[in-house]
Amino acid sequence: MINLDDATAQKLLDKLSSDDDFRSLFVKDPAEALRSLGPTGAKFSAAATCMKVAKLADKDAIASSRDALTKMLVTQLASHSAPQLDTKI
């Protein structure tokens, strides 16, 4: 399973909804962004692969979708359902 634990998911969403530097890192290298939150190892590298985005949704969209995104991050990554962190292009 490659689900994130709730604490890591909350940290991720906090940063994605508020921190421009973290958001830039996340778009460039989701694995490095995730590692900066604390988790490491193959499990989290696999999770980061599922989180690759072409264009990240804006901070308000992430904040307003926090409950749904948390659910995806902690329960659905194992089924390879990528969390919708990107914006429609």
**CA 83, 84, 85, 89 torsion: positive or negative?**
positive
Q: Is 58 a domain residue?
A: yes
Residues 85, 53: Cα–Cα separation, whole Å: 7
CB atoms near residue 8 (< 10 Å): 18
- Is there a domain that residue 84 lies in? no
State the residue range of the domain holding 35. Answer: 6-79
Q: Per-residue pLDDT tens for 45-86?
A: 777 777 888 889 999 999 999 999 998 888 865 555 555 566
The label of the residue with tokens 């694995």 reads 31
pTM of the model: 0.79
Q: Is residue 19 part of a domain?
A: yes
| 20 falls within a domain | yes
Asked whether residue 85 is domain-assigned, the answer is no
- The tens digit of pLDDT for each residue in 32-45 reads 898 898 866 666 77
17 in any annotated domain: yes
Answer whether residue 65 is part of any domain.
yes
- As a whole number of angstroms, the distance between CA 72 and CA 85 comes to 10
Q: Is 23 inside a domain boundary?
A: yes
Report how many domains make up the chain.
Answer: 1
